[in-house]
Amino acid sequence: MDALGAAFGLVLQPDVLVAVGLAAVFGLFVGAIPGLTATMAVALLVPVTIFMEPVPAVAVVVTVVATAIFAGDIPGALLRIPGTPASAAYTDDAFAMSRSGEAELALGVSLVYSVLGGLVGAVVLTAAAPLLAEFALQFSSFEYFWLASLGLTCAVFMSAQSRVKAIGSLLLGLLVSTVGLDVVSGQARFTFGTTELLGGVHFIPVLIGMFAVSEVIRHMAASTSDLRVPARRIGNIFAGVAAVGRRHWRSVVRGNALGVGIGILPGAGGDIAAWIAYAVSKRCSRQPERYGTGHVEGIVESASANNSALASAWIPTLVFGIPGDSTTAIIIGVLYMQGLNPGPTVFLERPELVYAVFLTFFLANLVMLPLGLAAIKSATLLLRVPRDLLMPIILGCCIVGAFAINNAAFGIVVMLVFGLVGFLMEENGFPLTPAILGMVLGRMVEEQFMISMIKAEGNVLAFVDRPIAALLAALAVTVWAWPAVKTLRSRVAGLRPVG
Amino acid sequence: MGGMRRRLGVMIGLAALVAVGCGGAGELGTAGWPNRPITMLVAFGAGGGTDANARIVSGLLERELGQPVNVVNRTGGGGVVGHTAIANAEPDGYTLGYVVAEVAMMHWAGLTDLTFEAFTPLAMLTGTPGAVFVRSDAPWESIDDVLDEIDRGAEILQASGSGQGGIWHVTLAGVLRSLARDPGAVTWVPHQGAAPALADLAAGGVDLVVSAPAEARGLVDAGRIRPLVVIDTERHRLWPDVPTLAEATGSDWNALAWGGVAGPAGLPADVVATLQATLGGIARSEEFIELIERRGTGAIYRDAGGFREYMAASDASFGQAMAAVGLVP
């Protein structure tokens, strides 16, 4: 428990508290502007975190993600445009509520259940991660190979868009991950003789390009003008929130449980959690016909789910170094730059830092309550910020950020190239997250596979020799075979004569 | 389209403004060195051991010179990218670098043509020996037990600690060669660095790990692994009960993961003289020694001439060890 005391000492510092406050304001702003996502907010912040101590750096990232995901609900309720993809599932309901004069209740429910969801996620993270880390200390390259393979599988299976396009996106990520020095043989691959590419393609400039520059390009290509925001006064948002909770307590519990569960899966974050929670809520509800017409039940469940998924996405991130979603993929980069290499040993060697990370989740969600209220009150002002001013500032921040990662102009080139790639992918319906996970996990799969093969002297059976590895292998093979089995069964069923 | 073009123009203009606003100082002359901030390039990532040493040195150098010394990490390619950047920098004294042992290895592996001769050495400041670790429940009590196991040859041992051809791989090869064992008798399992290799050792994935004591300290304190021998001329402060390689086996082979400050070749003589004197003062200060040794690294000072000799000797020794395990193409 010494570590916990030390963690409190690390978190309750003026610089950490100021950083959390500023990060909350930034996150609320970015989240509330449609088109600017939580992932983009984090990508833009990475270069700033390089110059910070580990605890405030992580606290900033945690706060920005939590507040941005909540703030995405504000334009959803007022304009029917979700601020971030995580709010898209229940935008119709929230907007319908606003139209019938219940904007306060819709926003109040979003805020309170987002905060609650965030706190539940933080409790689960704090309780589960150290236990899992103790277990993960027994993991060798064989187990990591299967885990990373499962991660790649999830990246495709959990995609909201076409599975074939998700595979295409994943393959692009895997291809990019092969550039640079091969860790096993030390040979250069796809470097075309340049020193810059010897270090591989750093994925932070790629991320900044894909998530931020692509949005700037989209803004330039589209001729949409600024949003027309009707002036509106927002009253007391907390009236009736408790009553909604009492009436729909099952949704609160289920939304949080779903959020936590989905967050842990690699490749699935807050947005997928919100969609699934909304669908489950509708199926279990006594009034499914009212969904989409301004029914609060779905908002309660999905708003809980998207925020509780954020903290649980950190469980595989911290314990195995396998990102739970696209923001935690960036966070792995931040952790490495801070010397906090994710993996089970960080729990043994720097427990006070791990506990400090957990505490920042509680802090971020508590700060969100008053600041979120302020954001709702000033929503009209926030939504009227002119895009033509905002986009160049974002592009400027992108350039500075891509340069700062390795202090090289090469980062800017990478950022611009992937900005264009990201724009073209999104325009054609290819999801971006599988590409990012492919880049992060591709290295891991290859490396762990090669390490395992060297250890096993080429004997493939060694991959299922250790009990945990065998279990993970069985799981992976089942998931891979499942679509084939399903197709086969439906074929067989189709062949059988009817009647 | 006209609207779009205008928008593009405004956008690029404003973006440039933001980027330049964040940029900072421009170019100035070189007279009266140093009259502007100095850059200290580091070839490995922030948070690692090399970075920490460079940051300690830079902090003290900044105080002595009265100009900011900014640590800039240029990572990638196992150190090739950063060291190339140091060697190719303008030799005006405003770009220096923390040059480390990989310089004496990567050219042997054929990764680059860059050798220690591409630098103006200024001062060697740090060095850490390797140590051999096994899992706490391993059957071997000493390095002799491990050597017996190798000689028995019933099962081929597997070791890790760095990538293929990384410093600890070469160190193990050097040790085995000096003990008249075949360096290929132990399979090297490449890992990205000491941290994942040590985690794999704790998980039962490999039998031995060679790494710096500072990096293994956490797992040793947690009772998961234990050190068998320190590959150095004297025992390590962290574990005074652990013998040196010479005490345990009689082989006096040793190697350090050394580091020091250097500039590109052709640094002006007055800059070199000032830096040598300043770095020498820092290296002997109690503050520096305390800061470095608290991290578990050794504060080992050699002046510019001594540093050059040490780099040449290290280059030859690593070259032999690498040839012995077939790492030289």
| 3 state SS for B249-262 | HCCCCCCEEEEEEE
Single-letter code of the amino acid located at A102: E
Mark whether B263 and B241 lie in a shared domain.
no
Rounded (5°) CA angle B112-B116-B121? 145
In the three-class reduction of DSSP (H, G, I as helix; E, B as strand; rest coil), residue B35 is classed as: coil
Residue for token pair 């309780």: A127
Please indicate, yes or no, if residue B209 is contained in any of the structural domains. yes
Residue B224 contacts A, CB cutoff 8 Å: yes
Residues A325, A270: contact at Cβ < 8 Å?
Answer: yes
> Which of B8, B52, B189 comes nearest A451 by C-beta?
B189
Strand partners, B132: B210, B229
Contacts 24+ apart (CB under 8 A), A24-27: A24/A63, A24/A64, A24/A67, A24/A364, A24/A367, A24/A368, A24/A371, A25/A371, A26/A64, A26/A67, A27/A63, A27/A64, A27/A65, A27/A66, A27/A67, A27/A68, A27/A71
Which of A185, A195, A343 has its CB closest to that of B80? A195
Neighboring chain A residues of B190 at a CB cutoff of 8 Å: 183-184, 186, 450-451, 454
B119 and B261 housed in the same domain: yes
Domain-embedded: residue B7: no
Q: Which residues of A touch B204 (CB under 8 A)?
A: 138, 140
Q: Which residues contact B308 (CB under 8 A, 6 or more apart)?
A: B116, B121
My answer on whether B77 and B226 are in the same domain is no
* B39 is a domain residue: yes
B7: nearest CA in chain A? Answer: A220
**Residue B24 domain-assigned (yes or no):** no
With CB atoms and an 8 Å threshold, state whether A183 touches B192. yes
- CB contact (8 A) between residue B75 and residue A393: no
Res B24: pLDDT: 42
The answer to whether residues B188 and B109 belong to one domain is no
The CATH number for B263's domain is 3.40.190.150
Under an 8 A CB cutoff, do B111 and A188 touch?
A: yes
Report pLDDT for A496.
64
Same domain, B243 and B264: no
Give the number of other CB atoms < 10 A from CB of residue A289.
9
Q: What is the pLDDT along chain A (499 residues), one digit of tens a residue?
A: 578 889 999 999 999 999 999 999 999 999 988 878 888 888 888 878 877 888 999 999 999 999 999 998 998 888 888 888 888 888 889 999 988 888 899 999 999 999 999 999 999 999 999 998 888 888 899 999 998 998 888 878 777 678 899 999 999 999 999 998 776 776 778 888 787 787 788 888 898 899 889 989 988 888 666 666 677 778 888 888 889 889 999 999 999 999 999 888 876 788 888 888 998 898 888 888 888 888 999 999 999 999 999 999 999 889 988 887 888 888 887 887 777 778 888 888 888 989 999 999 999 999 999 999 999 988 888 788 888 888 898 898 889 888 877 778 899 999 999 999 999 999 999 988 889 888 888 888 998 999 999 999 889 999 999 999 999 999 999 988 988 888 888 888 777 655 4
Assess if residue B291 is contained within a domain.
Answer: yes
Quick check: A200 contacting B, CB < 8 Å? yes
Predicted ipTM > 0.90: no
Task: Report CB contact under 8 Å: B192, A447.
Answer: yes
What is the total residue count of chain A? Answer: 499
* Average pLDDT for B162-169: 87
Q: How many domains does chain B have?
A: 2
Tokens of B251: 């082989």
Contact list, A457 vs chain B (CB under 8 Å): 156, 187
Partners of residue A397 in chain B, C-beta under 8 Å = 18
Select from B227, B249, B271 the last residue of a domain.
B249
**Tokens, residue A214:** 């692509």
Nearest CA in chain B to A443: B192
Is the per-residue pLDDT at B39 higher than 60? yes
Q: Among candidates A401, A409, A396, which has minimal Cα distance to A47?
A: A401
Boundary (domain end) residue, out of B205, B230, B249: B249
Per-domain residue ranges of chain A = 2-223+241-483
Last residue of a domain, one of B195, B230, B249: B249
Instruction: Collect all residues of chain A within an 8 Å Cβ-Cβ radius of residue B189.
Output: 141, 451, 454-455
Same domain for B263 and B124, yes or no, is: yes
Report yes or no: B9 at the A interface, CB cutoff 8 Å.
no
Instruction: Identify all chain B residues contacting A451, using CB atoms and an 8 Å cutoff.
Output: 189-191, 200, 205
Let me know whether B139 and B239 are in one domain: yes
CB contacts under 8 A, A 60-89 vs B, are: none
B22 close to A (CB below 8 A): yes
Element (H, E) at A246: helix A241-247
In this prediction, residue B134 carries a pLDDT of 97
Residue A362: partners with Cβ closer than 8 Å, 6 or more residues away: A119, A122
The answer to whether residue B10 is domain-embedded is: no
Q: Which residues contact A354 (CB under 8 A, 6 or more apart)?
A: A3, A7, A129, A130, A318, A346, A347
Q: Do B39 and B101 belong together in one domain?
A: yes
User: Of the candidates B258, B315, B260, which has an alpha carbon nearest to the alpha carbon of residue B121?
Assistant: B260
pTM: 0.82
pLDDT at B26: 40
Residues whose CB falls within 8 Å of the CB of residue A222, separated by 6 or more in sequence, listed in order: none
**CB-based contact B7 A388, cutoff 8 Å:** yes
Nearest to A30 by CA among A340, A397, A427: A397
- The answer to whether B40 faces chain A, any CB pair under 8 Å, is no
Q: Which two tokens stand for residue A381?
A: 């002002």
Mean pLDDT of B28-54: 80
pLDDT digit string, tens, across residues B170-203: 999 999 999 999 988 899 998 877 888 998 999 9
Q: Which residues of A touch B84 (CB under 8 A)?
A: 195
Evaluate whether residue B1 is within a structural domain.
no
Taking CA–CA distances from A336, the nearest residue in chain B reads B47
| pLDDT for residue B266 is more than 60 | yes
Whether B124 and B262 share a structural domain: yes
Q: Which amino acid is at A113?
A: Y
Put simply, whether A399 touches B (Cβ < 8 Å) is: yes
pLDDT band at B9 (very low <50, low <70, confident <90, very high): low
Contact call for residues B103 and B114 (beta carbons, < 8 A) = yes
**Same domain assignment for residues B276 and B188:** no
Q: Are residues B114 and B40 in the same domain?
A: yes
Q: Which helix (H) or strand (E) holds B131?
A: strand B119-135
- B39 by DSSP, 3-state: which? strand
Phi, psi torsion values for A302, nearest 5 degrees: -75, -35
Identify the domain containing residue B90 by its residue range.
35-128+256-324
CA–CA distance, B227 with B212 (Å, rounded to integer): 11
What is the C-alpha separation between B278 and B125, in angstroms, rounded? 12
Tell whether A178 lies on the interface with B, counting CB pairs under 8 A: no
B29 within a domain of the structure (yes/no) = no
Q: Which of B4, B84, B219 sits opposite A345 (nearest CB)?
A: B219
263-302 in chain A: CB under 8 A from chain B:
none
- Give B-chain residues touching A447 at CB under 8 angstroms: 192
Residues of B in contact with A52 (CB under 8 A): none
Mean pLDDT of the B304-320 span:
95
Q: Are B159 and B325 in contact (CB under 8 A)?
A: no
Q: Do B72 and B105 belong to one domain?
A: yes
A181–B205: do the CB atoms touch at under 8 Å? no
Is A288:A282 a contact under the CB 8 Å cutoff? yes
Nearest CA distance, B131 vs chain A (angstrom): 19
Beta strand spans in B200-306 (E): 208-211, 225-231, 256-264, 298-302
